[in-house]
Structure 1
Amino acid sequence: MAKTFKNAFSRVLLSGLAVSVLACSSSNKPMVMKAATLTKPNIIFILTDDLGYSDLGCYGNTFNETPNIDKLASQGLKFKTCYAAAPVCSPYRAALMTGQYPARVGITDYLRPNSGEHLNTAHTTLAEMFVANGYQTGIVGKWHLSGYTRAGAPEETLPDKHGFNEVMVSENEGIAEGWYYHPYLFNKDIQKKLPGQREYLTDRQNIEAVEFIDRNKDKPFFLYLSHYAVHTTLHGKPEIVDRFRRKAGAGTSPPTKGNEANDLYKRWPADSRAKINNPHLAAQLFVVDQGVGMIMKKLISLGLDKNTIIIFTSDNGGETTVTTNSPLRAGKSTLYEGGVTEPLVIWNPSLFSKPGTITEPVVTFDFYPTFMELIQARSNNQKLDGVSFAGLLKNPSSVLPERNFYWNYPLQNPHFLGGRSASSVRKGDWKLIEFYDKNEFELYNLKNDRQESNDLAASNPAKVDELKRDLTSWRTEVKAKTK
């Protein structure tokens, strides 16, 4: 952590101690250090599923409406290049929870409901790290780091086995793509909670998040709000979908897959597959954004806003069939920039820098060491592949140590969205992609060509060879599979 950040953090800590001492000196009661404990920052990590790089207003979108997230960005820090550790869901989440490359963890593709794979309990997860440092931990929503015994998996490890004290609205037999109304197919045990005839999943997650904050206001907490939205099949609340249908340029598509009558509460309604300006995507994202507003209102009402860090991001590139990753190439399931680059906003004006944009690249497994530094955590001796970027939050113009970024995405068959079995490395401005299926290489200079439109492999064989050596050496070090 930069010296200036340490000083700022120390001032917050000392002010808490002073409050505690003054409170105790005004009475004859024994001194209590409760206020000092509260100076450990709360962490709220809000993760969306399959959100496109440019789906937020603060990232240039003019159709979707995300005023609360945009406010976080205007008051906080927006990252130009936040890399996902993988182009699909489960390996991203494995990297987030462990601070390691997915290849090192051994989870490199999304886990099917009956999968025998799961996140090994031998890892000290992010949640377990927080618990060891005095935090209450909670997950609201998607886990996707295990198969499920109810779906035929031989065993499972769900969030309660990985350090989460409270588990709310999380799946226990699959993620049931696009099932956004109660009863939830991904977990039939979840009882309806919200008033009205139909409970919408994202509304339920937002309420659970706010209630978790309220329950834990007197202790430091880590809240992982892991949205199922905006994973396809897209399905927004009808009244909000209509709002976006009326906007200029709204996309359209017919109802499909057994919903020819266009039941508004049944999957695959009209316009849910619109390729541009999708009203259902916009409607779902609008409710995610409402949740951000609810969280901020709750924090302010409890006086916790100055001591709470909010992170808003996504897990991998958006599906190009319904989202936009412009100006980046391709999307989910590919190792092009559109598949592995995420929006990232981090907010806390009281602890961090003035608002701005950070250009230094960061990656999923950097969150683990960053959080450890922010809360001054004790070392747990877990191998970490990331680096802390806490210093960037105080001084956005600072730089991180030079390093390469690596991805490994071996597939038996191409992904249904077009992704191919591949591995890649970014070194400085240069990026090499090795396609396992046809032993092909592509080379790009991201400084001059962030869109990856000009393959330089044929004209720069020396650079290809250099990056091939780096990639091969890394795969050997992490014991990465290539098939």
Structure 2
Amino acid sequence: MPPGTLQVHRDAITGTATAVIVLAVLLLVAALSGASASAQAASDRHNVLVIYVDDLGFGDTGVYGHRVVKTPHIDGLAAEGIRFTQFYAPSALCSPSRAGLLTGRTPYRTGVESWIPDDSRVHLGRRETTLADLAKARGYRTAVIGKWHLNGGLHMRDVPQPRDFGFDYQYGLAAWVKNASVADSTELPRRGPMFPDNMYRNNEPVGVTDKYSAELVSDEAIGWLQASSDPFFLLLTYSEVHTPIASPPAYLDAYREYLSDEAKHNPFLYYFDWRNRPWRGRGEYYANISFLDAQLGRVIGHLRDQKILDNTLIVFSSDNGPVTDAALTPWELGMAGETGGLRGKKRFLFEGGIRVPGIIRYPHRIEAGRVEHRAVTALDIFPTLAEWLDVDVEPRVPLDGQSLWPLIDGDSFERDKALYWSIPTPDGMEFAVREGPWKMILDSYGVPRHLFDLSNDWYEVNNLLDREPAIRERLLLAYRSIRRSVENDPLAAARKTSPR
């Protein structure tokens, strides 16, 4: 990596970005090193690809145990890298989880506590430093291609957008796939392929498209990669397997035996019109996972063809647990996510809602085919990348993750604080904390309701709250300590005094 340590942050008190300072340091390093040294440093920089998919469950891929779905490209990443069996999303919902991934900070710190509705003024706090900021501090070109969902819409002019968080380039949709020609049809039930018409490129509407979302995202990613040979940071965020699930006919045909007659005879039925109709089977869900896998495989294949795959640090994960066939809302109908038997699902703080696939591929430091059982979180990606890029971040701004390089390199790895989650949930269980094998779930008042020993009870069947009073009190203290830190977070305090 280039010599010297850089520092990047957005000031916690005044909110003034320090990009000018970073640029000055970069220029000074270049001047001292000389043009040839700088060119050599650029050639030594390895790329970063973070793949974050939507609602993919812990048990939704072949490598994580699905007995039907074929996911050769995801399985290949695991075979060539490290696969985590206890990898956690920052939240059980998409917007807060994405905020946590980008910042390394538990989502309540960042101003994003739940999913963000269309046209809402809720957004990721302007002063937050992101993964893209880290990469830009080292001179990388940066892009987010796919789903954003960290504000109320990519069309909004008065809320921060990807360009305000270190991204040079943006393509994709704000939240989920829409198609007005289908949604506004007077035919009932409504029908038509869900080609998204709500894509944006650099915050300008793309208009009508003629492909499904994942293919559009991969097309754009490959085009952006081809545009320059400079080192890159790419956040690739597929909207699959989030409803409305839509896949090309070839993928539906591959899982035809898992489709009911209803689905076979109505392949393009609009998902909101599934209510009170016969069960459609699991095939559409299975097809969408394989379609997603094939599309991310195209991007990986492009890197391989360009002979830069092994010089690219790849992180793959999902933003939260799946929507299972236990539908709680109309938009969940027809889904068939798998948690691998774990309790709960998307929107809940039991394991099924927050434990997700997690894979890192980087052959320069990671042995192929390694399986890691220690608990990690997507919050760890920010400090891991900061260390790898040799970029210091503002020490006054608390991080909730920690670098995974000691774990990856086989050194001693101990968490310096408990894992922590907070989200409004349908069952009122708003908080969770994990320390070692012990996990406690608390209600919205901070009252402990569940205590599990995950070393003996992954499936959270045996509530030990009354049988382990010492453990309960220890985790309660850890919860209170982290919650105080969140409530007194300097960036959150700055937003209250100067909201922007």
Normalised by the length of structure 1, the TM-score is 0.81
Aligned residue number for residue 244 of structure 2 = 233
Which amino acid is 1:241 matched to? Answer: L
Mapped pair 1:289 → 2:293: yes
Superposed CA offset, 1:133-188 (max 9, x none): 111001111111111386xx7932221221110111233xx534699733424659
Flag the 1:182–1:269 CA change in 2: closer, same or farther, 3 A: same
Q: CA deviation at 1:285?
A: 1.6
Residue 89 and residue 452 in structure 1: after superposition, are their counterparts in 2 closer, same or farther (change >3 A)?
A: same
1:183–1:190 contact (8 Å) kept in structure 2: no
Structure 1 CA distance for aligned equivalents of residues 443 and 305 of structure 2: 52
Q: CA deviation at 1:235?
A: 2.1
Deviation of 1:125 after TM superposition, in Å, equals 1.6
* CA distance in structure 1 between the partners assigned to 2:227 and 2:169 by the alignment: 11
Q: Deviations over 1:191-216 (max 9, x none)?
A: 456xxxx3111111111111222123
Asked if 1 retains the 8 angstrom alpha-carbon contact of 2:109 and 2:486, the reply is: yes
Q: Deviations over 1:339-366 (max 9, x none)?
A: 1111011112233224210112111211
| Residue type at the aligned position of 1:136 | R
> Are positions 1:320 and 2:324 aligned together?
yes
1:393 and 1:469, CA in 2 relative to 1: closer, same or farther beyond 3 A? closer
How big is the shift at 1:101?
1.0
Structure 1 vs Structure 2: percent identity of aligned residues? 29
The offset of 1:450, in angstroms, is: 0.7
Within 5 Å, give how 1:48-197 maps onto structure 2.
48-148=53-153, 155-171=158-174, 174-176=175-177, 181-185=194-198, 189-191=205-207
Q: Which amino acid aligns with 1:81?
A: Q
**Which residue in 1 is equivalent to 2:469?**
461
SS of the equivalent of 1:80 reads strand
Residue segments in structure 2 that go unaligned for 5+ positions in a row: 1-34, 181-192, 326-335, 490-500
Distance 1:177 1:69 in 2: 27
Which of 344, 350, 353 aligns to 1:336? It is 350
- Measure the CA separation in 2 of the matches of 1:137 and 1:40: 14
Is the 8 Å Cα contact of residues 234 and 268 (structure 1) preserved in structure 2?
no
Aligned partner of 1:383 among 374, 377, 398 = 398
Report whether the alignment pairs 1:423 with 2:431. Answer: yes
Verify the 8 A CA contact 1:137 1:166 in the aligned structure 2. yes
Which position in structure 2 is the counterpart of 1:347?
Answer: 361
1:294 Cα deviation after fit: 1.5
Give the secondary-structure state (helix, strand or coil) at the position aligned to 1:53: coil
How far apart are 1:404 and its partner, in Å?
0.9
Give distance in 2, aligned partners of 1:326 and 1:364.
19
Cα distance in 2 between the residues matched to 1:276 and 1:345: 32
Confirm or deny: 8 A CA contact 1:444 1:455 kept in the other structure: yes
Q: In structure 2, what is the Cα distance between the partners aligned to 1:43 and 1:267?
A: 35
SS of the residue corresponding to residue 310 of structure 1 reads strand
Question: Contact 1:263–1:269 at 8 Å: present in 2 too?
Answer: no
Of the three residues 307, 315, 330, the one matched with 1:303 is: 307
* 1:243 aligns to 2:251 (yes or no): no
Secondary structure of the residue aligned to 2:441 is strand
Say whether residues 1:204 and 2:216 are aligned partners: yes
* In structure 2, C-alpha distance between the alignment counterparts of 1:274 and 1:35, rounded to whole Å: 62
Aligned partners of 2:85, 2:100: CA distance in 1, in Å? Answer: 20
CA distance in 2, matches of 1:315, 1:455: 27
CA distance, structure 2, for counterparts of residue 145 and residue 460 of structure 1: 40
Question: 1:61-82 deviations in whole A, cap 9, x for unaligned?
Answer: 1211111111111111100111
The separation in 2 between residues aligned to 1:290 and 1:206, in whole angstroms, is 10
8 Å Cα contact 1:42-1:307 kept in structure 2: yes
Aligned to 1:224: 235
Aligned length: 430
Q: Residue in 1 aligned with 2:188?
A: none
One-letter identity of the residue aligned with 2:158: E
- Alpha-carbon distance in structure 2 between the residues aligned to 1:114 and 1:148: 6
Structure 2 partner of 1:9 = none
Q: Give me the CA root mean square deviation.
A: 3.1
Bigger Cα displacement from structure 2, 131-140 vs 156-165:
156-165
Q: 1:373 aligns with which of 368, 382, 387?
A: 387
Residue type at the aligned position of 2:194: Y
1:393 counterpart letter in structure 2: I
One-letter amino acid of the structure 2 residue matched with residue 463 of structure 1: I
SS of alignment partner, residue 368 of structure 1 = helix
